[in-house]
Amino acid sequence: MAFCRAIRSQVPTDRSLVSMRTYRHTINLVFPRIVAWVLLCGGLTATPATGQQGFQAEQALTKLHVADGLQLELFAAEPLIRQPVTMTIDDRHRVWVIQYLQYPEPAGLKKVAGDQYDRNRYDRVPQPPPHGPRGADRVTIIEDTDGDGRADQARDFVDGLNLASGLALGHGGVWVLQSPYLLFYPDRDRDDRPDADPQVRLVGFGIDDAHSVANSLQWGPDGWLYGAHGSTVNANVRGVRFQQGIWRYHPRTDRFELFSEGGGNTYGLDFDRLGNAIAGTNWGVPGLHQMQGAYHVKIFGKHGALHNPYAFGYFPHMPHAGTAVGKLSVGGIFYQAEQWPGRFRNQFMIANPLNHALYAIDVTRRGSTFSTRFSERLMWSDDAWFQPVDIALDADGSLLVADWYDGNINYQRTYRERQNFDAERGRIYRLSASETQQPAERSSDHPVFHPNIMLARQALQSLAERRDKTRAPEFARFLEEAQDERRALHALWALNLCQGLSENDVQAVRCLRHRFPAVRSWSVPLLGDASQVSKGIREELVRLARNEVDVRVRAQLACTAKRLPADDGLAIVAELVQHDEDVDDPYLPLLLWWAVESKSGAEREQVLSWLEDAVVWKRPLVRDVVLPRLARRYAAEGNAAGFATCARLLALAPTSADVERVVGGMAEQLQGLKQGKMPAELRAPLDALWKEEHHPQPLILFALRMGSLPALQEAVERMADATAPEPDRLALIAAVGETRNVKVIQPLLKLFLHADRATLRSASLASLARFQDPNIGTTILDHYEALERDLRGAARQVLCSREDWARQLLQKIDKGQLDPNEIPYRELPLLMNHQDETIRQLVQKHWGSVRLVTPYEKRQRMLEIGRLLAAGTGDVVRGKAQFMKRCGTCHQLHGAGNKIGPDLSPYPRHELAYLLLHTVDPNAVIRPAYQSFVIATQDGQVLTGLLAESTPKTVTLLDAKNTRIVLAREDIEEMKDSAQSLMPEKVFDALNAQQIRDLFAYLQSKTTEPLRNDLTQLSGMHEAFDEPDENWGIADNGNQVMPRFQREKGNPGGWLQLDDASGGRMAIVLPKRWYADFSRFNRGTLSFAARTVAAKGGTPHEAFGLVELTGAGRTVRADAAGPQAIVPGERWATYRLALNAKQFGVSEDEWLQVLGQLERVMIRLEGFGNAMEVMGLDNVALTPP
Residue 941 confidence class, pLDDT cut points 50, 70, 90: confident
- Band (pLDDT 50/70/90 cuts) for residue 770 is very high
Query: Count of domains in the chain?
Result: 2
What is the Cα–Cα distance from 571 to 546, expressed in whole angstroms?
A: 10
Cα–Cα dist 900/472, whole Å: 55
Least trusted range by pLDDT, from 107-121, 475-489, 1057-1071: 1057-1071
CATH number at residue 1083: 2.60.120.260
Residue 19 confidence (pLDDT) above 50: no
Given 404, 433, 462, which residue is the final one in a domain?
433
Q: How many CA atoms lie within 13 A of 327 on its CB side?
A: 20
Asked whether residue 344 is assigned to any structural domain, the reply reads yes
Q: Sort strands 277-279 and 269-271 into parallel, antiparallel or unpaired.
A: antiparallel
Buried-exposed string 50-83: b where 16+ CB fall within 10 A, e elsewhere: ebbebbebeebbeebebbeebebebbbbeebbbb
DSSP characters over 570-630: HHHHHHHTT-GGGGG-SSHHHHHHHHHHTTSSTTHHHHHHHTTSTTGGGSHIIIIIIHHHH
According to the model, what pLDDT value does residue 1021 have? 66
pLDDT tens, 453-511? 999 999 999 999 999 999 999 999 999 999 999 999 999 999 999 999 988 899 999 99
Which residues lie closer than 8 Å to 853 by C-beta, 6 or more apart? none
Local structure of residue 152 (DSSP, 8 states): -
Distance CA 1179, CA 1051 (A): 7
* CB distance 541 to 505 below 8 Å: no
Smallest CA-to-CA distance from 1088 within 1102, 1078, 1074 is with 1074
Beta bridge partners of 966: 956
What pLDDT is attached to residue 1008? 33
Q: CA 1015 to CA 1013: how far, in whole Å? A: 6
**Structural domain includes residue 1071:** yes
Please provide residue 89's backbone torsions phi and psi, each rounded to the nearest 5 degrees.
Answer: -125, 135
Over the chain, what is the mean pLDDT?
84
- Looking at per-residue pLDDT, the higher value among 673 and 565 belongs to 565
d(CA 1037, CA 1035): 7
403 domain-assigned: yes
* Backbone dihedral angles phi then psi of residue 330, each to the nearest 5 degrees: -125, 160
pLDDT of residue 1057: 85
Range of the domain at 137: 57-433
Rank 4-8, 435-439, 839-843 by mean pLDDT and report only the highest.
839-843
What are the phi and psi torsion angles at 484 (to 5°)?
-135, 160
Residue 429's region, left for phi above 0, alpha for psi from -120 to 50, else beta, is beta
- Determine which helix (DSSP H) or strand (DSSP E) holds 430, and give its type and residue range: strand 427-433
Query: Could you report the per-residue pLDDT of 627-654, keeping only the tens digit for each?
Result: 999 999 999 998 999 999 999 999 999 9
Q: Which residues contact 734 (CB under 8 A, 6 or more apart)?
A: 763, 766, 767
pLDDT digits (tens, 9 = 90+) for 58-92: 999 999 999 999 999 999 999 999 999 999 999 99
752 Cβ contact partners less than 8 Å away, ≥ 6 residues apart: 761, 764, 765, 768, 779, 780
Q: Which of 529, 520, 527 is nearest to 554 (CA)?
A: 520
- The DSSP code sequence of 968-1008 is EGGGEEEEEE-SS-SS-S-TTTTS-HHHHHHHHHHHT-S-S
Beta bridge partners of 137: 161
Assess whether pLDDT exceeds 80 at residue 857.
Answer: no
Which helix (H) or strand (E) element contains residue 377? strand 369-381
- State the Cα–Cα distance between residues 1008 and 1011, nearest whole angstrom: 9
Residue ranges of alpha helices (H) inside 990-1083 are 993-1003, 1010-1013
Characterise 676 by phi-psi region: left (phi > 0), alpha (psi -120 to 50), beta (else): left
Q: Is residue 113 within 8 Å of residue 243, measured between CB atoms?
A: no
Residue 620: what pLDDT?
96
DSSP 1149: H
Q: How far is 446 from 32, CA to CA, in rounded Å? A: 54
Q: Please give the share of the chain, as a percent, with pLDDT higher than 90.
A: 53
Rg (CA), the chain: 31
User: For 1115-1141, how does the pLDDT look when each residue is reduced to its tens digit (9 = 90+)?
Assistant: 888 887 655 567 888 888 888 888 888
Q: pLDDT tens for residues 337-377? A: 999 999 999 999 999 998 899 999 999 999 999 999 999 99
Instruction: Give the model's pLDDT for residue 1064.
Output: 54
Has residue 27 got a pLDDT over 60?
A: no
% of the chain surpassing 70 pLDDT = 83
Q: Are 1146 and 1154 within 8 A, CB to CB?
A: yes
Residue 834's identity, in one-letter code, is H
CA angle 900, 902, 906 (to 5 degrees): 145
Does residue 427 sit within a domain?
Answer: yes
Q: Are the beta carbons of 179 and 163 closer than 8 angstroms?
A: yes
Sign, Cα dihedral of 880, 881, 883, 888? positive
At residue 28, the pLDDT reads 34
Calpha distance 633→143 (Å, rounded):
56
Instruction: State how far Cα 423 lies from the chain centre.
Output: 33
Name the packing angle between helices 505-512 and 535-547 (round to 10°).
Answer: 0
Pick from 402, 433, 464: which residue ends a domain? 433
* Cα distance between residue 957 and residue 976, in whole Å: 12
Phi, psi (rounded to 5 degrees) for 596: -65, -45
Report which secondary-structure segment, H or E, holds 45: none
Instruction: Write the burial class of residue 1130 (CB in 10 Å: 0-12 exposed, 13-18 middle, 19+ buried).
Output: exposed
The 10 Å CB-count burial string (b at 16+, else e) for 490-522 is bbbbbbbbbebbeebbebbbbbbebebbbbbbb
Is 800 in a helix, a strand, or coil?
coil
How far is the CA of 486 from the CAs of 275, 338, 414, 458, in angstroms? 10, 14, 50, 16
- CATH number (domain holding residue 155): 2.120.10.30
Lowest mean pLDDT among 130-144, 295-309, 718-732, 1161-1175: 1161-1175
Q: Which of 398, 415, 433 is the last residue of a domain?
A: 433
Alpha carbon distance 711, 303 (integer Å): 37
Per the domain annotation, does 1168 fall within a domain? yes
pLDDT at position 1014: 33
Is 1128 within a domain?
Answer: yes
In a domain, 353, yes or no: yes
Identify residue 495 by its one-letter amino acid code. L
| 25 or 53, which is more confident | 53
For the cut 90, the answer to whether the pLDDT of residue 31 exceeds it is: no
Q: Give CA–CA dist 228/261, Å, rounded.
A: 10
Q: Point out which residues pair with 896 in neighbouring strands.
A: 893
Closest-CA residue to 404 (of 644, 182, 87) = 87
Q: 3-state DSSP call for residue 127?
A: coil
Measure the CA–CA gap between 658 and 1039, rounded to whole angstroms.
15
Handedness of CA 460, 462, 463, 464 (dihedral sign): positive
- Nearest Cα residue to 579 out of 538, 615, 617, 549: 549
Rounded Cα distance, 957 and 935, in Å: 9
C-alpha span between 43 and 48 (Å, rounded): 13
328 neighbors 23 (Cβ within 8 angstroms): yes
930 closest CA partner among 299, 371, 193: 299
Over the stretch 990-1021, which tens digit does the pLDDT of each residue have?
788 888 888 888 888 764 332 223 333 344 66
Residue 873 lies in a domain: no
Which residues, listed in sequence order, are joined to residue 271 by a DSSP beta bridge? 277
